[in-house]
Amino acid sequence: MNVKFVVVGLLIIGGLFYGTEKYWQHEFEETARNGLKNFSYTPEMKDAMKDLPIKADILNQYPNLFFYVDFTQELPAQAEAIIKTKLMENSQRIACQVFSRLPEKEDKDKAKAIVNVIEEDNVAMTYIVKARFGKVLMEHKQVLTQCPEFQLLKQSVS
């Protein structure tokens, strides 16, 4: 009789422990997913760009996030070529840089939830940069699971 009581008690405790872990993991994932679904330019981001000759906007069609940057001034031909070259060289780094700051800011459970959401939802960011009159200087689509920084984050939380 005592053995049955102990076994049932251990099963209840194990169930509570497992259930609590699953509950919080689900909550962290929903928080991460809602953060991505509601991603937009913050006032700090707008303040950082106010003195630059660009206009930026985000179209959030989760899981696809589109970042539009339009130059508001005409660029000299050589400057346009240099900007286009630099943007193409750094296009993956621009999209993937968010992961380099995550481990510092998030605890391991929240970082694991972010990894799960990005993998499950296959989140992608597309950057489109245009000159003043609509000429596309760069268009780059980055699936976030293909970022080297994402792979490092995934390994650090595993």
3-state secondary structure at position 105 = helix
Per-domain boundaries in the chain: 2-157
Token pair for residue 24?
């919080």
Which tens digits make up the pLDDT trace of 91-145? 778 778 877 666 555 688 888 888 999 999 999 999 898 888 888 888 889 999 9
pLDDT of residue 20 exceeding 90, the answer is no
Could you give the residue ranges of the DSSP H alpha helices within the chain?
A: 2-37, 43-49, 77-96, 98-105, 108-121, 148-157
